[in-house]
Each structure stands twice: as C-alpha cells, then as structure tokens.
Amino acid sequence: MSCVSTVKYQICINGELTDSFQPKSGIRQGDPLSPYLFVLCIEKLSHIIFEDVRMGKWRPVKSSQAGPAVSHLFFADDLVLFAEATSNQARVLKNCLEVFCQASGQTVNFDKFAIFCSPNTCKEIAKEISCICGSPLTEDLGKYLGMLVLHSRIDKRTYSRLIHKVHKRLAAWKGKFLSLAGRATLIQSVTSAVFVYAMQTAKLPTSVCDALDKLNRNFFWGGSEKMSRVHLCLWDLVSRPKSKGGLGFKKTGAMNQALLAKIGWRLHIKDEGLWAKIYEAKYLKGHSILDDSVIFRQDCSSTWRGVLHGAALLRKGMLWRIGDGGTARKVWNALLNSSQSAGFFTMDFQPWLKVNLMSKIVWADGIPWNLVFVFTCWYIWKWRNFYVFHGDEELAFDSIQIITAAVKEWFKASNVSSIKCAKVEAWFAWEPPPAGVFKLNVDGSRKVASGHIGAGGVLRDVSGDWCSGFAINLGKGQILEAELWGLFFGLRMAVEKGFNNLIVEMDSAVAIQLVQQHDFLTLHLLASLVSSCWQLMHKLENCSLHHIFREKNSVAFQLAAWSYNLDLGICIFDEAPSWVGASLVDDLLGVSRPRLICVG
C-alpha cells in the first residue's frame, strides 16, 4: 500500500484559499478506488496461499478422494479458508494472514472471524486451533446470500424466514387498493425474485412451494391473511404463458426444477467452475448428468439432490443423436480391408470423412474404396431411419450383400460410355386454367457470383388476365430456399385474396418433392418453411401442385430476376408491370417456346 498516497485539499472561502491539509481517515468504504485496491491486495493473499500449497506447507481440503483440493474461496470482501484441523496447519494459516497484513497494511476483523471444525475433530485439538488463531470456535456459520451455509435435513423450517419475508412484503402493499394488473406486476417482479437464489441451491419442499403459490394466489385475487376472496378461475389457467391466454405467473415448483435443470445443463456441457469440478469428481465420476447410471445416493448433499431433480426435466427436453455406432461397426468390419482397419474407428469426424472420400485405394474388381464408403454411409442412414419410423433395430441380415450389389451396379452403370441420349426440340406454351380455377406460377432465382436470391410469382384467371403478382428480394441463400419462399408468398397471396380453387406451377421438381413429403422432413434445414407451404395449401378448398419446364414459366421467371432491384422485402403488383408485358401477351396468345429434351 506504500504506492498509494493521499491528496491534499484546499477550501475556497470568500474567494480565498485556505492552507492545504490532508484528510486523516484515508480511503474508506464507498470510495470509488477502494474496490480496485481491495481486489489487488486480496489477490496477493491468494498468491501467498498458493505458494504455501505448492511447497506442501498448507494442506488443502478435498470433498472426495479424486476431487480438486480447495484451500480458499474469495467472494467480494468475504473469505473462507480451508485446511486440515491440526495445530501445525493453524500456525501456517495464521502466518499467511500475518504476512499479508504486514504487506498490505490491512488487519483481520476478529469480530467477523470464526473457526469451524468438522464433527469428527477432537475437542482438544479444536480448542488448540482456536487459541493459536485467536478466534472463537463456532458450530453455526450462519447465512450467506440469504441461505444457511450449514444445515442438516431441508424442510419447511429451513425456508420459514423467506416465506415470512414474502408474506411481509405482500401485506405491506395493501393489495385491495391495487388493480389486477398492478398485483400481477408486483407478483412477477418482486415475490418471484425473493426465492430465485434459494431455488438454484436445492429442491424446495413441496409444502414450501405450495405456501408461496398460496400467498401469490391470495394477493392476486385481493385476499388477505384474515379474509379470503373468491378466485375467479383456476390458478393453472392464470399461470399459463401469455401466449396461451395466461398471465405468465411462474409456479414455484416448476421454476425451482427449471433453475436446477440449468445447473444440470452446465454440468453436462463441462462447466469449468470449481463447483462443477467438485460434483464431477464426487458424484459423476466420468459419467454424464443425463446417464441413467447417475443415481440418487442417500449420503449426497441437498444441492446434488436438487440437481438430479432438475436433470429429470433436462432428459425430457433433450434429443439424443446416434450412439457409438456399435451396430454399424459390424458392417464396416466386414467391408474394410486389413490395411484400412487401423485408425478407422478412432479418427475425428472431419479427418475421417476427408480421408475416406479422397481415398485412392481399390477395394475389389477395380471398384474404388470411396465409392464403397459412400454407399455404406447411405445404407446405414437408411436403416437408421427405418428403425426410427418402424422400430426394427437390427440391420438387414444380408446387409453386406445389399451394399456390395448396389456398389457394383452403380460402378458398372457409370462406366458404360456407349449410352447416348438423343435430344429433340420440343415446344412448350403456358396453358390457362379451367373455368372457375386460378393459376399461380412461381419461380426462384439466384446469382452465382454474389449468392443473392429472389423470387417472384403471378396469379392469373381462365382468360390469362393478371390478378396479382409479386417480387421479393431474399438476401443471400441457396436456390432451393428461393423456390420455396416463392411458393410460400404465392400461396399466401392466393389465400389472402380468397382464390380457393388453385393450380400451382413451378419448375423446381426438388421443391415440389419436399412439399409432397413434408411429413418426413423433421430434420431438414427447411422443414419449417416446407411445413408452412403445406399448411397454406390446405387452407384452400382445392389446390394442386405441378412441375413444368421453365419455358412455360416465363412471367414468374422475369419477376424473380427483377427482384434484385428491390431492397430486402416484397413488392406486390396489383397490375402487370410494363417489363413483363411481352411475356404476358405471348402467354395470352399461346406462343410456344423451344426446349431440347432427351428421348429414348
């Protein structure tokens, strides 16, 4: 602290400065500089302790045999020291504090200093430690952040003070003078926050959760301790999310489990905190918090019991990916040559994929290994999907023969150079819909160089007259996204205008196939968009989707190409724009456009 100096002051009185003087109190609590100096100083104490631990003088405490050693914990200006309960360790501890106090100029506040020894410590040794340190022994470390530091069995009495605190706050607000909205705001902003820290440390007893919910219910409906009011609807309805018609009140039990599930999630993702390392070593021992092997133990702490309670909720909300590949390993072992087996099952995914796809190894009969690799991956994926939808866990009994036959068939077909496709010129023209039916043509567009995508569409009646159209700039993406967004906005336009009898035409066969197979696309990146298109189609009384060649989709193609002139967003055309006039007239007149197609 010798580098810290105190400034001198002068006071201006009646226009004249007094003599300079120094404040005698120095830096006090509340000074903006105080927290920074304290952190710098207390960090030195940490260094002193770590040095003694490294040299073997200070023997820290472990919560389990394989757990991390803990010598000290700092939080703000609070300090907890851990060491063996011996007189020698007491002297080491006191010496560290004396060295620190001498260097920093600070002193230990013995009014707030207490020593706690575990129950199995001999009383004579405990008294000797107390005498060496000059601090009293205690069997109760009190509360920290509102929670008991030491406690035995958790019951309603453990949280009675917090229940009383909530009750006191609610009683002070005179709920009968507040509107329902005012009471709801107070419940959500104040009473729900009182227990947040407690709910992250243990599973609250059911009686405590019920008591808190009861206090909130009575306050919300205008009741008091002496008089109860009529509850106009079930609390379950009031506690629903606002999106489902409720007021968004959080039930205490559900909120408690959700907060504990968050602790479990941090353990699952390998949090680097000291607390996580202690739980990992003492309870998990290399297992995941989601594993069934992590079971409840009678001797575990109340916090760990709470974490297990939250983990049960976590398991319900999580999806598992494919496992260790034990079943598929049988297939790979049958197909791999002896020279390929080494490292095949131990490589990381990206190198594994790259090595096998770029392999120059010949498998058999001139067939390259990368071809066998791709087909095997594909068939394993197909069999996995069959298991998901039909429940048949086993691979096909002749799986090796199936893969081998498919590989040889593809290899043979791809090496036949004599097959030639004869192309002929065919003519295609746009066709108007039947009477009483409207036709929607949509298309997507993408610039290869920049990756920008857009879409466009047009609605026409039986006479080919323009009903409505649109063009939309979609930013950057893939062509399939553009095609599906074009379909989505076209269908939405038809629904808004009430065109219930509709024929939809587009030149993307892939997009059409996705919409027709929407039930099987839960894992597809565009599954949500495909599902939205399907739902819009079913809002119409009669809607069919057809694939056409681009030559029959000229107007929609021009609208999609023009979309790059727009800022991000959609432009609706109630009348046909001039730059599609020529194509629109050609369609009205039935003008055909040529295209080369394969025959034979």
- Give the Cα separation of 432 and 460 in Å (integer): 8
Task: Give me 534's structure tokens.
Answer: 């399907």
Q: Contact at 8 Å (CB) between 63 and 118?
A: no
Name the least confident of 92-101, 298-307, 434-443. 298-307
Q: Scanning the structure block, which residue is given the tokens 């680097």?
A: 272
H helices of 55-141, in order, are 87-104, 123-133
Task: Give me 592's structure tokens.
Answer: 């055909």
> Nearest to residue 549, comparing CAs of 595, 580, 585, 499?
595
For residues 80-102, give the mean pLDDT. Answer: 91
Answer whether residue 250 shows pLDDT above 90: no
- Delimit the domains of the chain by residue range: 34-139, 156-250, 257-316, 326-414, 428-599
Q: How confident is the model at residue 600 (pLDDT cuts 50, 70, 90)?
A: low
- Give the Cα separation of 221 and 184 in Å (integer): 10
Question: What pLDDT, on the 0 to 100 scale, is given for residue 434?
Answer: 94
Q: Residue 495, class by beta-carbon neighbours within 10 Å (0-12 exposed, 13-18 middle, 19+ buried)?
A: middle
Q: Scanning the structure block, which residue is given the tokens 């919409």?
A: 515
Question: What pLDDT, on the 0 to 100 scale, is given for residue 53?
Answer: 92
> What is the rounded radius of gyration, in angstroms, for the C-alpha atoms of the chain?
37
Answer whether residue 433 shows pLDDT above 60: yes
Q: How confident is the model at residue 416 (pLDDT cuts 50, 70, 90)?
A: low
Residue length, the chain?
600
Amino acid identity for residue 394 in this structure: E
Question: What pLDDT, on the 0 to 100 scale, is given for residue 76?
Answer: 73
For residues 515-531, give the mean pLDDT. Answer: 80
Q: Residue 284, class by beta-carbon neighbours within 10 Å (0-12 exposed, 13-18 middle, 19+ buried)?
A: middle
Q: Contact at 8 Å (CB) between 488 and 533?
A: yes
Question: What pLDDT, on the 0 to 100 scale, is given for residue 196?
Answer: 81
What are residue 398's phi and psi, to 5 degrees?
-110, 40
Range ranked top by mean pLDDT from 338-352, 371-385, 388-402? 371-385
DSSP 439: E
Query: 221 vs 192, 501, 593, CA distance in Å?
Result: 17, 52, 73
The residue ranking higher by pLDDT, 128 or 340, is 128
- Give the Cα separation of 430 and 507 in Å (integer): 12
Listing DSSP states for 484-498 in one string gives HHHHHHHHHHHHHHT
Q: Could you read off the pLDDT of 336-360 as tens digits, one per residue?
A: 876 676 778 778 888 888 888 988 8
Answer whether residue 567 shows pLDDT above 70: yes
Instruction: Indicate the average pLDDT of the chain.
Output: 84
Q: Is the dihedral of CA 112, 118, 119, 121 positive or negative?
A: negative
Q: Contact at 8 Å (CB) between 238 and 249?
A: yes
Q: Scanning the structure block, which residue is given the tokens 């199995």?
A: 120
Q: How confident is the model at residue 518 (pLDDT cuts 50, 70, 90)?
A: confident
Question: What pLDDT, on the 0 to 100 scale, is given for residue 397?
Answer: 55
Percent of the chain scoring above 70 in pLDDT: 89
Q: Contact at 8 Å (CB) between 125 and 87?
A: yes
What long-range pairs does 524-530 form, CB within 8 A, spacing at least 24?
Answer: 526/480, 526/481, 526/484, 529/481, 529/484, 529/485, 529/488, 530/484
- Give the Cα separation of 442 and 494 in Å (integer): 12
- Give the Cα separation of 105 and 1 in Å (integer): 7
Residues 6+ apart with CB under 8 A from 458: 440, 441, 466, 468, 469, 555, 556, 559, 580
Amino acid identity for residue 119 in this structure: P
Q: Is 430 helix (H, G, I), strand (E, B) or coil?
A: coil
Q: Is 593 helix (H, G, I), strand (E, B) or coil?
A: strand
Query: 428-599 adopts what CATH topology?
Result: Nucleotidyltransferase; domain 5 (3.30.420)
Query: 137 vs 116, 133, 547, CA distance in Å?
Result: 6, 10, 85
The residue ranking higher by pLDDT, 521 or 354, is 354
Question: What pLDDT, on the 0 to 100 scale, is given for residue 505?
Answer: 96
Question: What pLDDT, on the 0 to 100 scale, is given for residue 258?
Answer: 92
